[in-house]
Amino acid sequence: MPARSTPAWAHLRLTDRIEPGVRVLLVGINPGVRSAQTGHHFAGPSNRFWKLAYEAGLIPEPITHEGDVRLPEWGLGITNLVARPSPGIDDIRPQEYLQGWAALQQKIAKFRPEVVAFVGVTLYRALWKVLGQTALGAPKLRGARAPVITPGFQHATIHGARVFVLPNPSGRNANFSYQEMLDAFKALRRAIRRLPGYPQATKPKCGAEPNVS
């Protein structure tokens, strides 16, 4: 039986969009195939991240994945826990979570965001499973099991940054309705508004939607 060939996109990597002064660092689990091919974050055709970010007021203009380079304009940064792209997350190995966590901690320590927002309940749950609550900056509880993780702020900090969890905006996420996702993104926006000196984004026009094709 011939050996399986390596996909052409397997060695592609995305560029972090993080600059000094970042206030909120968004963390995805790993790039999808479409993101790897385009070189931009959340590029999957069914991914609602950019639509949600605009409708929630996280960003003041409707942009697509090609506009991810503009996130630092609004005090936002974006990275992935695992750099390797894949069609799904099932083949991510525990060691990759550990390596990604080490790299993520260095980025947080370097740029010092005030909020770290993990994009995906599954992502944060996987980190908890691999690392445990102490590594995630949560209070040490004897015999503690992984908590029921819901979107919003968590009882944890990373290098002083508060931890927020968003639902995964993928179109394949059947655990949350679009409205529930939007409510979580809006909750993050409300938290951002409370950060000292944070610029206020313009509210989206009624009925306006970004082109996410």
Full DSSP string of the chain: -PPPPPPTTTT--PPPB--TT-SEEEEES---HHHHHHTSTT--TT--HHHHHHHTTSSSS---GGGGGGGGGGTEEEEESS-S--SSSTT--HHHHHHHHHHHHHHHHHH--SEEEEE-HHHHHHHHHHH-TTTTTPPP-TTPPPP---SEEEEEEETTEEEEEE----TT--SS-HHHHHHHHHHHHHHHHTSTTPPPPPPPPTT------
Instruction: Please give the CATH superfamily to which domain 24-193 belongs.
Output: Uracil-DNA glycosylase-like domain (3.40.470.10)
Q: How many CB atoms lie within 10 A of CB 79?
A: 22
Q: Which residue would you say has higher pLDDT here, 5 or 13?
A: 13
Residue 211 pLDDT = 36
pTM: 0.85
- Greatest CA separation for the chain: 62
Domain ranges for the chain, please list them.
24-193
- Write the pLDDT tens digit of every residue in 6-52: 888 888 899 999 999 999 999 999 999 999 999 999 999 999 999 99
Q: By C-alpha distance, which of 51, 76, 77 is closest to 62?
A: 51
pLDDT, tens digit, 9 for 90 and up, residues 120-178? 999 998 888 877 655 565 554 444 556 788 999 998 899 999 999 999 998 888 789 99
In this predicted structure, the answer to whether residue 202 has a pLDDT above a threshold of 50 is no
Tell me: the pLDDT tens digits for 91-108?
Answer: 888 889 999 999 999 999
pLDDT higher for 12 or 210?
12
